[in-house]
Homo-oligomer: A and B are copies of this chain.
Amino acid sequence: MKHELVKSILNRDKLALSRAISTVENRLAGYGEMLDILYPHGGRAYRIGITGPPGAGKSTLVDQITSRILNLGKKVGIIAVDPTSPFSGGALLGDRVRMGGLAGREGVFIRSMATRGSLGGLAVATKDVSVLLDAFGMDYIMMETIGVGQIELDIADACDTTVVVLVPESGDSIQAMKAGLMEIADVIAVNKADRQGATQLSQELQFTFQLRKRQSDWCYPILLTEAVSGRGADELWQAICSHRDYLERSGDFEVHRRRQIKSRVKELLEARIRSHLEKELHLDDLLDGKADKVFKREMSPSQAADEIFKHIREYGA
């Protein structure tokens, strides 16, 4: 049954793609095998991350980039990740509603993902879904995430070009968010550029990026955009294409992808080890025993960890 799904995906059946995404998202039986089979069929999609604080206008910019990709006759898959949606409620509109006319068009596929359980799990699922979109034959994959913590860093690790969208808005909380976002930005869009403070923000950012510009051949473009009117959208798309071009010319594209693969394999390996410890070596019981001694201050947490580690090495790995 999974093999049928695989065949349908390779035949570019969007309904099958939808079902496969649900299978992966919910970790249903056979999802791992399906990913293994589909993995070799991918590798051509270029992956763009779009991140920034809530309300920055990311979705509208994603729509504008999408229409430019479609105009080139290319196909695009969009994953909209909103870790906050179960709480804030309704931050995501229905997928089709959201994109107006675009969602119905042949070359576009959009899927929203909200958190179930851990944020870490959401990032992993997003990476797996991009494998499906890649195998489906998408030329581009866009991953739109809200930059509120760790998840956008994890997802940037699965992208080739990361666009950070900011808005001229004061407030310490935004400042704090910006800090983390700057580390992953390849291209910066100062959106809502008609608002007061846009020029100042863009100057601040120029300053922030001075050092990185000096250390890299990439120019870290900082663009003024107005998602609603479409101002700056052409330049934004151009900047993404230039970054791709830069990566490919410099050899960084392959270097980045290899690094990303390595960190993904490491993640998966750690999950396997964890599951082995829990299921085969009954880690939980071992921990309970030691935690009791630590609680009574008979040993330190570090000494407890050492003893369990020794036990694991002796009694079967």
Q: Please report A residues at the B interface, Cβ cutoff 8 Å.
A: 32, 35-36, 39-40, 42-43, 53-55, 84, 86-88, 91, 119, 131, 146, 148-150, 171-180, 182, 254, 257-258, 261-262, 264-266, 268-274, 276, 283, 287-288, 290-292, 294-295, 297-306, 308-309, 312-313, 316-317
Contact = CB atoms under 8 A, between A and B. Distances in A.
A299 to B, nearest CB: 8
A283 B287 CA distance: 26
A208 to B, nearest CB: 9
- Cβ-closest 5 pairs across A and B: A317-B317, A149-B149, A87-B179, A54-B172, A268-B305
Nearest to A119: B150
The interface centre, meaning the residue of A262, A283, A292, A304 with most chain B CB atoms within 10 A of its CB, is A262
Given A148-B149, A291-B262, A55 B173 contact: yes
A297 B39 contact: yes
B257 A295 contact: yes
B295 A258 contact: yes
A195 to B, nearest CB: 14
A87 B175 CA distance: 9
B146 A309 contact: no
Contact of A261 (B43, B119, B262, B291): B291
Nearest to A43: B297
A39 B261 contact: no
6 contacts: A36-B303, A131-B300, A173-B177, A266-B287, A268-B301, A272-B309
Contacts of A173: 53-55, 148, 171, 173-174, 177
A300 B39 contact: yes
Contacts of A91: 172
B265 A291 contact: yes
Contact of A177 (B148, B274, B302): B148
A302 to B, nearest CB: 6
B308 A317 contact: no
A274 B269 CA distance: 11
